[in-house]
Amino acid sequence: MNLNNFSASLLLLSLLSLSSVTVGGGGGGDVLAEQEADRVIRLPGQPPVTFKQYAGYVTVNETRGRALFYWFFEASSNPEEKPLLLWLNGGPGCSSIGYGEAEELGPFLTQKGKPELKLNPYRWNKAANLLFVESPVGVGFSYTNTSDDIAELGDTVTAKDSYAFLINWFKRFPQFKSHEFYIAGESYAGHYVPQLAEVIYDSNKKVSKENYINLKGFAVGNALLDDETDQTGMVDYAWDHAVISDDLYKNLKAHCNFSIINNQQSTGCSHALDRYFDVYKIIDMYSLYSPTCVDGNSTSAVNRHLPIIHGVAPKLFSKYDGWHRKPAGYDPCLSDYTEEYLNRPEVQKALHANVTKIPYPWTHCSDKISFWSDAPSSILPIIEKLIAGGLRIWVYSGDTDGRIPVTATRLTLRKLGLKILQEWRPWYTDNRQVGGWTIDYDGVMFVTIRGAGHQVPTFAPKQSLQLVQHFLANKKLPSEPF
């Protein structure tokens, strides 16, 4: 018997021993039947693969009828030995499937002019069993039967629902329960990821063994972490990269105080910020040196803005129309191909998605969410708590992103006041090129990715896979060419 057959037999025996378990939040029935019901056999236009994939819904609140949609890929080799990694995109209100899976780090990427998927050679399920979830409800295919829920969304609800999702998902897939568990994400997931990690960390101290989650750490990229330093860093980065004039920079510095939590800014600050955001109407804030979408048939070309969500962080910048822009990749019209693909009925059927016939099309970012009930101005207290709790924490930054730039993240990490264990140094890819720079703090590893925009896996797929492999293995990136 070869190793693969042996592993499969062990897995089957494990599942058979659990086949009588009734799964809360999954509609009941035995584990094997529920897993098989979620099995995705083959998507329209999908290249053949040997790893398994599953998709469907997990109920997070039965009374309110809230359910989150997920898409899960087993690791491409030895899934029984690999960790489990949950990926979250931000927004808030943007889809981890539309961005994370289909355009960044997932196994299947959408493409221009073809109703087909292509296999991502740098897919992260080479390193881990890979789980995507559309969160909170109202995003993508995730839904609620209680319309009032949308008006009550915020950081706290999102973290609690994501935790409920995980508890019930592990009941549906108990063979992964003992695996090391990690969370990663980008942008507003700088809130989502640490907050979910904190809920798990706190809950693990009091839950039964059945609901214990084997959380080991998390990683966040180009992440919103602290309003003051994020906003200051955006302005400094724009000036340093010749995006704004000396005069505008001086006005922003003279009239705006980003340390004011209530953001009651002067008229001079408001006028200066209007001029600042005007610049990003003509270039891509998320990737300074990438083209913008100019396809006349593109929804991205004419509708690059997201709805303004009131109450979300950062409190000052989020009030400006220019802050609410959709990210794009090397192909700035990429999001159009993804929306076209995921709105195909045969694709939704294959994914077991949209089973309630949601009365609106799937979009990358929800236009139903207009209010955010809570968003702390800083996530640093949570970071400090989880450092003390012994979790592995990596923060990374694509260095051509103007939205949450490397400048902002460096200011944020400086605010933590952590001891430096190993100073700023380059790290290398396997072709003897500098992949970026890194610094090892006591409790946090910070990594930059050279030439990457906001969505690092889109712009630097090879480097991002190298990064996540080292993060999961708890190994430093190579500081010498190899």
- Among residues 179, 324, 364, 454, the one annotated as catalytic is 454
Say whether 230 is catalytic: no
Q: Provide DSSP, 291-341.
A: PPP--TT-HHHH--BPPP-BTPSSTTGGGSGGG-B----SSTTHHHHHHHH
- Among residues 236, 284, 401, 440, the one annotated as catalytic is 401
Compute the C-alpha angle 61/65/69, nearest 5°: 80
Alpha-carbon separation of residue 214 from 78, 179, 180 (angstroms): 19, 7, 5
- Among residues 95, 135, 142, 187, the one annotated as catalytic is 187
Say whether 401 is catalytic: yes
Reduced to 3 states, what is the DSSP secondary structure of residue 184?
strand
DSSP lists the bridge partners of residue 39 as 54
Alpha-carbon separation of residue 463 from 56, 449, 478 (angstroms): 31, 7, 12
Q: What is the CA radius of gyration of the chain?
A: 22
Compute the C-alpha angle 4/218/437, nearest 5°: 100
- Which has the closest alpha carbon to 92: 298, 309, 244, 305? 309
Assigned token pair, 169 = 């998902």
* 258 contacts 305 by C-beta, under 8 angstroms: no
Provide the 8-state DSSP code for 99.
Answer: I
Assigned token pair, 146 = 């209680």
* 328 contacts 286 by C-beta, under 8 angstroms: yes
Residue 105 CA to residue 92 CA, distance in Å, equals 19
Residue 343 CA to residue 233 CA, distance in Å, equals 38
Say whether 178 is catalytic: no
User: b vs e for 108-131, b when ≥16 Cβ sit within 10 Å of the residue's Cβ?
Assistant: bbbbeeeeebeebebbbbbbbbbb
Parallel, antiparallel or unpaired: strands 392-398 and 215-223: parallel
List active site positions: 187, 401, 454
